């Protein structure tokens, strides 16, 4: 009988770390079981781990808490990759092939791998995503099985500064291996966008605490990925610096203004000794700068607003009042909020929130990748480790057959070696005699 598989994913963001466990049934149904998070400030900057020891301790606590919830041991994890330096680079590989033999998947895999043969200065390749295939200069969706004398493959190399993945490796040195690294924005695009989104043209915008990641799809393929070093924390810090308040106060003010992107119509009230209209001026100005940078990514990707039919907005700032409307007015493309992956069943309403869309997408992607029969959790209880395996039980020496032992005669009941015992015997005798007399009558 097939067993359920358990998948563990970790997502390290600029403001929090989230770990979660999902259970995959033999039929492929995926249910999120448990989730843990830890907030932090300044240990991760722009998505890159700065304080390795702090983040390592947070991850260790998250893992231990998850283990306590599931009553087992986490044996491996899937780790999300995102950060300021993450972006895509287009690479092309051309090969001449024998026209008498069909193109095979093995050949395609070798050609794609060759796309990374030329190192990119000061960057590591994190992932490779095919973009387009051409057989004898004619574009095709799937070249496997076709015949031709030449093949060209366009791929997107997803690259980052070496420090991004290096520090991720450093924080995972407490004994639990990383099963696979998953590029977080690609996982989100794969799990929450529809086939129509990717075919007609869609821009996925993840506006986080310190970075905004833009991922663009067209004709069912990824065509662009870039990370802007601006996010929701920039709005908070502008209020903090401009009005001379603590960051915590500035954050609370930002969250309590209904539509901070329309300062002229903001109620002129005081929130924690801060004038809401003055705070809205700072928030609106910085948000306008971020939206302008998002709009610029279309030009950098070589597409226009006519090529993109929708924008899907996620991230910590996605629900800020007026953001969707301001983005639509500026970029001239319809904007909608992203939803959690439809393939997941999230039973716990306390964790079924949009702020966890990244780790949910990592779980769903990992569920697609994990091999049959593999799991990330050992469900044995801790005390099971103390039980010896069958092979570890020492063999008993073989003895010659012995004659059966004579049964040991039990001592007569009621014999006592003390005076108290003898007195008890006499009393017992009297009681017995009385009982016999009653029976005779």
For residue 131, what are the CA distances in angstroms to 88, 152, 184, 280, 321?
11, 11, 18, 42, 36
Q: What is this structure's pTM? A: 0.83
Q: What kind and span of H or E run contains 367?
A: helix 357-369
Closest C-alpha to 77, from 171, 190, 163, 2: 171
On whether both 262 and 189 belong to a single domain, the answer is: yes
Domain end among 135, 160, 185:
160
User: pLDDT grade, residue 47 (50/70/90)?
Assistant: confident
> In angstroms, rounded to a whole number, what is the distance separating the alpha carbons of residues 174 and 57?
9
| pLDDT score, position 90 | 93
Domain extent for 143: 87-160
pLDDT higher than 70, residue 121: yes
187 and 41 both lie in a single domain = yes
Residues 224 and 370 in one domain: yes
The answer to which of 129-138, 139-148, 243-252, 377-386 has the lowest mean pLDDT is 377-386
Strand 178-183 and strand 138-140: pairing? unpaired
Q: Which residue has the tokens 């870039």?
A: 226
- Is 137 strand, coil or helix? coil
Answer yes or no: do 203 and 223 share one domain: yes
Mean pLDDT of 279-283: 97
CB-CB contact of 211 with 303 (8 Å): no
Give which of 221, 245, 373 is closest to 307, Cα–Cα.
221
**Of 323, 348, 378, which residue is a domain's last?**
378
Closest CA to 101 of 135, 148, 139: 148
Tell me, what CATH number does 292's domain have?
3.30.420.40
Report which of residues 78 and 122 the model is more confident about: 78
Residue 99 pLDDT: 78
Mean pLDDT of 166-182: 92
Domain count, the chain: 2
Structure tokens at 384: 């099971």
The residue to which tokens 């009005």 are assigned: 243
> Quick one: pLDDT band at residue 21, thresholds 50, 70, 90?
very high
**Could you give the CA distance from residue 338 to residue 310 in angstroms, rounded to a whole number?**
11
Q: What is the mean pLDDT of residues 234-240?
A: 97
Q: How would you class 55 by CB atoms within 10 Å of its CB: exposed for 0-12, middle for 13-18, buried for 19 or more?
A: buried
Nearest C-alpha neighbor of 159 from the set 91, 77, 206, 208? 91
Asked if residue 280 and residue 174 are part of one domain, the reply reads yes
* Residue 322 falls in which region: left (phi positive, over 0), alpha (psi -120 to 50) or beta: left
Predicted pLDDT at 417: 44
Tell me: the pLDDT tens digits for 379-425?
A: 875 444 433 344 444 444 434 444 444 444 444 444 434 444 444 44
Looking at the DSSP bridge assignments, the partners of residue 8 are 21
- In this prediction, residues 306-324 reach a mean pLDDT of 95
Alpha-carbon span 366 to 390, nearest angstrom: 34
- pLDDT in the model for residue 433: 39
In this structure, are 279 and 369 located in the same domain? yes
**pLDDT tens figures, 150-167:** 999 999 999 999 999 999
* pLDDT > 80? residue 254: yes
Mean pLDDT calculated for residue range 313-321: 94
pLDDT band, residue 1 (cuts 50/70/90):
low
* Final residue of a structural domain among 378, 399, 419: 378
* Same domain, residue pair 63 and 156: no
- List CB contacts of 172: < 8 A, sequence separation 6 or more: 56, 59, 77, 79, 178
Distance CA 101, CA 106 (A): 13
Helix (H, G, I), strand (E, B) or coil at 37: strand
Whether 413 maps to a domain, the answer reads: no
């Amino acid at each position: 009988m097939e067993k359920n598989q358990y998948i563990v994913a970790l997502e390290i963001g600029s403001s929090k770390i989230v770990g979660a466990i999902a259970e995959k049934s033999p039929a492929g149904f995926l249910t999120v079981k448990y989730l843990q998070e830890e907030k932090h400030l300044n240990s991760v900057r722009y998505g890159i781990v700065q304080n390795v020891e702090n983040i390592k301790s947070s991850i260790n606590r998250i893992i231990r808490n998850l283990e306590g919830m599931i009553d087992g041991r986490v044996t491996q994890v899937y780790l999300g990759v995102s950060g300021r330096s993450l972006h895509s680079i287009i690479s092309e590989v051309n090969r001449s092939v024998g026209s008498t033999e069909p193109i095979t998947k093995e050949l395609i895999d070798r050609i794609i791998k060759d796309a990374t043969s030329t190192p990119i200065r000061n960057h590591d390749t994190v992932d490779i995503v095919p973009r387009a295939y051409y057989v004898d200069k004619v574009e095709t969706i799937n070249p496997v099985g076709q015949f031709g004398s030449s093949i060209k493959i366009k791929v997107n190399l997803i690259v980052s500064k070496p420090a991004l993945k290096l520090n991720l490796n450093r924080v995972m040195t407490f004994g639990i291996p990383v099963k696979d690294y998953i590029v977080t924005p690609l996982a989100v695009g794969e799990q929450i966008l529809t086939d129509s989104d990717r075919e007609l043209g869609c821009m996925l915008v993840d506006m986080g605490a310190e970075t905004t990641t833009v991922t663009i799809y067209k004709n069912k393929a990824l065509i662009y990925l870039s990370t802007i070093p601006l996010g929701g924390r920039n709005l908070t810090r502008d209020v903090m610096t401009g009005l001379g308040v603590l960051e915590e106060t500035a954050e609370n003010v930002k969250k309590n203004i209904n539509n901070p992107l329309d300062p002229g119509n903001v109620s002129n009230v005081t929130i924690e000794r801060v004038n809401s209209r003055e705070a809205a001026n700072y928030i609106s100005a910085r948000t306008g700068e971020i939206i302008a940078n998002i709009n610029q990514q279309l030009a950098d990707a070589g597409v226009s607003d006519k090529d993109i039919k929708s924008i899907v907005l996620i991230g910590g700032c996605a629900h800020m009042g007026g953001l969707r409307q301001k983005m639509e007015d500026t970029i001239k493309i319809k904007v909608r909020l992203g939803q959690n992956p439809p393939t997941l069943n999230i039973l716990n309403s306390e964790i079924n929130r949009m702020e966890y869309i990244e780790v949910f997408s990592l779980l769903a992607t990992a569920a697609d990748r994990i091999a049959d029969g593999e799991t990330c959790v050992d469900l044995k209880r801790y005390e099971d480790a103390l039980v010896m395996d069958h092979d570890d039980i020492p063999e008993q020496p073989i003895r010659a057959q012995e004659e059966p032992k004579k049964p040991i005669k039990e001592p007569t009941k009621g014999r006592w070696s003390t005076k108290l015992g003898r007195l008890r015997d006499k009393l017992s005798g009297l009681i017995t005699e009385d009982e016999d007399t009653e029976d005779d009558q």
